Structure 1
Amino acid sequence: MKGTRDFPMCGFSNTVVQILKNLNVPFEVVNILENEMVRQGLKEFSSWPTFPQLYIGGEFFGGCDITLEAFQSGELQEVVERAMCS
């Protein structure tokens, strides 16, 4: 994401942080603004050009739009619960 969990540096990153806090799940962030190699590497790894990128259980889940849609439908809660039980 852009920024940190306490200080997101864009609205999309803030949205994902707020969703994860709302779900009350543990999560870590990587501030891609601190390292251009990490930023480019994640884009290549996920084949996703924008940030934030959400990974659940080590697998790429999606960006802000997909995360928000999944949160609103309840799907995200289910995916997170499955990952935490694994």
Structure 2
Amino acid sequence: MEFPPNQGLDQDEVDEQVADAIAENEVVLFMKGTELMPQCGYSRKALGLIDQHRDEYETVDVLESLDEFRAALNEESGWETIPQTFVDGEFVGGSDVLEELEERGELAETLDAA
């Protein structure tokens, strides 16, 4: 069985998907994998931290077109790594930043800014 190379989305589609997700959701997490099956430890950590404070938020699996998502997100945030969290259209950070906010007792307030 042959698997064709990256059959993901083109850059314009990803740029639009990223912009729409940020604009249309109070809280959105761009992650590797899904809520049920995170595909990296950092995404799992970010998911767990957000879950402690929010019942409703959007997740976007970037694995289908990783390079394109990385480029689109870098345009939005200036940040190259994934996961990335946005609240009310503003970039908050990756799992490390979420963890720091949690340690300072500020994550609930940050996520509730919506």
TM-score of the superposed pair, with normalisation by structure 1? 0.86
Q: What's the % identity of the aligned pairs?
A: 39
2 CA distance for matches of 1:53 and 1:37?
14
Please list, as runs of the form range in 1=range in 2, the aligned pairs for 1:2-17 lying within 5 A after superposition: 2-17=32-47
Structure 1, gaps ≥5 residues long: none
The superposition leaves residues 20-55 of structure 1 with CA deviations (integer Å, 9 ceiling, x where unpaired) of 111133111111111232332112221101010010
> Quick check: which has more Rg, 1 or 2?
2
Equivalent residues of 1:33, 1:39 under 8 A apart: no
Please list, as runs of the form range in 1=range in 2, the aligned pairs for 1:51-66 lying within 5 A after superposition: 51-66=82-97
2 CA distance for matches of 1:64 and 1:44?
19
TM-score of the superposed pair, with normalisation by structure 2? 0.67
Question: Quick check: which one's helix share is greater?
Answer: 1
Higher relative contact order, chain-length normalized (CA < 8 Å, sep 6+): 2
Alignment of 1:23 onto 2:53? yes
Question: Quick check: which one's strand share is greater?
Answer: 2
Once superposed, what is the RMSD of the aligned Cα atoms?
1.3
**After the TM superposition, which parts of structure 1 deviate over 3 Å for at least 4 consecutive aligned residues?**
none
Please list, as runs of the form range in 1=range in 2, the aligned pairs for 1:64-79 lying within 5 A after superposition: 64-79=95-110
2 CA distance for matches of 1:55 and 1:25?
16
Please list, as runs of the form range in 1=range in 2, the aligned pairs for 1:27-38 lying within 5 A after superposition: 27-35=57-65, 36-38=67-69
